């Protein structure tokens, strides 16, 4: 067929810091999805976007074109409002697991389309697949039925949702353009807008264990995504949250599921509870349910009840014993004092090397692998006492994990450190 444009036109325009017109953007996404633009041409365009950026109009049109490449879902038939959460990923970030049933227990349906981990950031689906029998793939009708009956679903996005994004993300992953903020924002938001939720709360991580290392970059990404959601008619709010230190006391798959269950039972680490409640309150406020305090639903067991029903509805056994790694070893403190620093990235890479994550999409993961922390910054530690326990089914992995952890922490002379604020900023549509 005769093409309306040439890919080189778009590449040259962005190379020369020009804005792409709407019709060229729409053609680029459509042509790449159907194979009329070669990978090397799209890679060149993605690099030009990484280096020179895009305007708000360009990003909005790019996102709309990716949505138009596939189907759009609708939850209009549900008897309750919907709200979703997206995290940009971090170490020990199991927040989706307690959050979805908690918000559902408060009367708001949560259609949580999640992904798998790659590298040091764990994937929600990988974590839940450590529950015996649980399945990630649901049809759209199964998802709707579960949302009406249970109120919460965590599942994989269907192949029909923004297929242009799936193809482009795979290309960005191997061409050094994953970090392009316009492309990150459009990738996330094309799927979330196409999903059809009425409210979206974004958890944008900042720090060593996050993709965004600085507050400035995280703020730019958050603002871009909030603008995209707002322009599409979705009530969108972003929280910038600290990822210098791992969340909670575990990084792994079954380890994080167990910690999430502890939160749903009314316990769990303070930081996981704090962030779960902060995000739940944002989701409920956006859905108009300011009359309910989600802390009550944690305390009285309603959130745990929804968790059990959600797991069972997807074939899982909520009472089953979770997998445990065959081998463990401990990493000890070398001196007395106060733990003043624990690097999230190094802990995440150690968990990955123990088998909790994957380097390629097709790699398997170990359900029981990962890291259990015995101290967080601010805690007093003793020489010869464990700082963390490493878990794996393949003990030959311990050496590389321990090498990764070299220099991952600092123990001070005994002076207490000031607690860090977990939620650093809030960005909403009415802020400039």
* Euclidean distance between CA atoms 79 and 311, whole angstroms: 21
Which one, of 417, 366, 413, 371, lies nearest residue 394 by Cα? 366
Q: 411 forms bridges with which residues in the sheet?
A: 339
Angle formed at CA 320 by CA 155 and CA 270, multiple of 5 degrees: 70
The beta-strand segments (E) located in 31-140 are: 84-87, 110-114
In DSSP notation, 251-311 reads EESHHHHHHHHHHHTT-S-HHHHHHHHHHHHHHHHHTT-TT--HHHHHHTSHHHHHHHHHH
Enumerate the H helices of 95-180 as residue ranges. 96-105, 124-128, 140-149, 163-173
> Coil, strand or helix: which one is 341?
strand
3-state secondary structure of 155: strand
Distance from C-alpha of 351 to C-alpha of 353, rounded to nearest angstrom = 5
Angle at 378 between CA 387 and CA 382, to 5 degrees: 40
Helix (H, G, I), strand (E, B) or coil at 416: coil
Burial label, 356 (beta-carbon count in 10 A; 0-12, 13-18, 19+): buried
Residue 412 bridge partners (DSSP): 338
Residue whose structure tokens are 């311990």? 398
The residues assigned a catalytic role are: 86, 165, 172, 187, 191
From the list 161, 154, 115, the residue with the least C-alpha distance to 138 is 154
Spatial neighbors of 1 by CB under 8 A, at least 6 apart, are none
Asked if 231 and 241 count as a contact pair (C-beta separation under 8 A), the reply is no
Pick the closest to residue 116 from 106, 108, 127, 102 (CA basis). 127
Dist. CA 227–CA 234, nearest whole Å: 10
Instruction: Give yes or no for a contact between 185 and 66, defined as CB atoms under 8 angstroms apart.
Output: no
């Amino acid at each position: 067929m005769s093409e309306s444009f040439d890919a080189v036109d778009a590449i040259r325009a962005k190379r020369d810091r020009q804005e792409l017109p709407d019709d060229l953007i729409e053609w680029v996404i459509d042509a790449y999805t159907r194979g009329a633009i070669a990978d090397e041409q799209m890679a060149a365009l993605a690099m030009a976007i990484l280096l020179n950026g895009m305007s708000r109009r360009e990003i909005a049109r790019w996102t709309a074109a990716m949505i138009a490449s596939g189907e759009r879902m609708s939850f209009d038939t549900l008897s309750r409002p919907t709200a979703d959460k997206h995290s940009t990923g971090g170490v020990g970030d199991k927040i989706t697991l307690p959050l979805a049933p908690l918000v559902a227990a408060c009367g708001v349906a949560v259609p949580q389309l999640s992904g798998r981990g790659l590298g040091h950031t764990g994937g929600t689906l990988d974590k839940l697949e450590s529950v015996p029998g649980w399945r990630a793939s649901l049809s759209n009708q199964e998802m709707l039925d579960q949302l009406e009956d249970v109120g919460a679903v965590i599942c994989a996005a269907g192949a029909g949702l923004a297929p242009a994004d799936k193809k482009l993300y795979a290309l960005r992953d191997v061409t050094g353009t994953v970090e392009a903020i316009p492309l990150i924002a459009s990738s996330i938001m094309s799927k979330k807008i196409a999903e059809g939720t009425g409210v979206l709360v974004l958890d944008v991580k900042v720090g060593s264990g996050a993709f965004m290392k600085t507050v400035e970059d995280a703020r730019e990404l958050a603002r871009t995504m909030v603008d995209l959601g707002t322009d599409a008619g979705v009530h969108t709010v972003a929280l910038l949250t600290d990822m210098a230190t791992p969340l909670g006391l575990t990084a792994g798959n079954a380890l994080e599921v167990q910690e999430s269950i502890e939160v749903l039972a009314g316990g769990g680490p303070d930081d996981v509870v704090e962030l779960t409640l902060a995000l739940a309150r944002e989701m409920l406020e956006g859905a108009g349910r300011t009359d309910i305090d989600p802390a009550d639903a944690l305390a009285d067991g309603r959130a745990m009840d929804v968790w059990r029903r959600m797991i069972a509805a997807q074939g899982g056994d909520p009472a089953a014993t979770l997998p445990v790694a065959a081998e463990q070893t401990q990493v000890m403190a070398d001196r007395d004092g106060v733990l003043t620093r624990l690097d999230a990235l190094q802990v995440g890479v150690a968990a990955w090397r123990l088998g909790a994550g994957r380097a390629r999409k097709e790699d398997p993961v170990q359900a029981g692998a990962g890291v259990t922390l015995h101290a967080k910054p601010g805690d007093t530690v003793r020489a010869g006492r464990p700082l963390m326990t490493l878990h794996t089914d393949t003990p030959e992995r311990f050496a590389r994990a321990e090498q990764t952890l070299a220099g991952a922490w600092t123990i001070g002379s005994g002076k207490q450190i000031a607690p860090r604020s977990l939620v650093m900023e809030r960005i909403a549509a009415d802020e400039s």
